[in-house]
Amino acid sequence: MSTRFDSEDAAFDFKNAAFAVITGNASGVTPMLSGWIRVINVDSIAFALTTAASTNGVWTAEVAQDYLGASAIPVASRYVSPAFPTGVNQSATPVITIPNRMYTHIRLTFTPSAGSGAVLANTGTITGRGVDIRRHGKGVGVHMYAPDTQAGQFSIDYSPTFYDRDIGQEGVPQIDNLADPQVWFPAIDSANSAVSIAATTAGVSVAKRLGLLEFASIRVKFLPTSGAGRARAIVNAKG
């Protein structure tokens, strides 16, 4: 009997041009833009936002269908938690949920209204969408990769339910049993030990064999700490 082999192309595919996606001093009312950041199969992305005590302005975000900004739409406030900070001397780390799988890129903008002090937006945790592993009975593994131009730390979670948003269902949870909450736990490996992935100072390429066949889905997260480039996580499964 043959064994079917399936490969989920990407638990997530993230790419930024800089760790600090916005940095510099505000000038009048000229918007400061991050450029388009790739967030394919990303469920949410966090940004650490700060402004100087003399600088006031408004943070906004938009999502698009490609790196040129095709069909871009503003991200509604209900997808930002906590809310974007307001006023001077701002400091917060809002998490932006990507509202629909058709949107593959995000752009952050700060529009100043007063002052000329520093403005900074650093990349925070990238959380991939849940990957359904219920149909597999042989084995599940994850390969995580970041280039030597980017440092950070990967982690893997599992869930007893499958959670994702269907295309066209913006922000609507799709759970097999709606009585079950969306709960994520740190992953374990095939020896029933916690999966530990060391933080890297420059680049990582690591594969983990997981003991997750009792569970419904997994997700992969990445927390950049410096640098830039393309970080990916690929789920392989047999069964």
208-224 pLDDT, tens digit per residue, is: 888 777 788 889 999 99
- Rounded to the nearest 5 percent, the helix, strand and coil shares of the chain are 0, 55, 45
The residues, any chain, with a CB within 8 Å of residue 1's CB and separated by 6 or more, are none
**DSSP of 71-139, one letter per residue?**
T-EEPPGGGEESPPP-SSS-EE--EEEP--TT--EEEEEEEEEE---EEEEEEEEEEEPPEE-TT--SE
Q: Is the pLDDT of residue 65 over 70?
A: yes
Taking CA atoms, 189 is separated from 10, 19, 25, 70, in Å, by 20, 31, 46, 40
Helices (H), the chain: none
Q: Coil, strand or helix: which one is 27? A: coil
Average confidence score pLDDT of the chain: 85
**Whole-number Å distance between alpha carbons of 148 and 192:** 31
Q: Mean pLDDT throughout 15-41?
A: 94
Taking CA atoms, 23 is separated from 94, 125, 170, 177, 224, in Å, by 17, 18, 31, 44, 16
In 3D space, the residue among 27, 18, 106 whose CA is nearest the CA of residue 60 turns out to be 106
Identify the band that residue 125 occupies on the pLDDT scale cut at 50, 70 and 90. very high
Global pTM reads: 0.87
Taking CA atoms, 146 is separated from 19, 42, 234, in Å, by 13, 15, 12
Q: Mean pLDDT throughout 129-142?
A: 78
- Strand partners for 164: 174
pLDDT number for residue 67: 92
pLDDT number for residue 4: 53
Q: Mean pLDDT throughout 2-25?
A: 79
pLDDT number for residue 167: 47
140-197 pLDDT, tens digit per residue, is: 889 999 999 999 999 999 888 776 655 444 444 443 434 455 688 898 877 778 888 8
Q: Is the pLDDT of residue 138 over 70?
A: no
pLDDT number for residue 6: 53
Q: Is the pLDDT of residue 8 over 70?
A: no
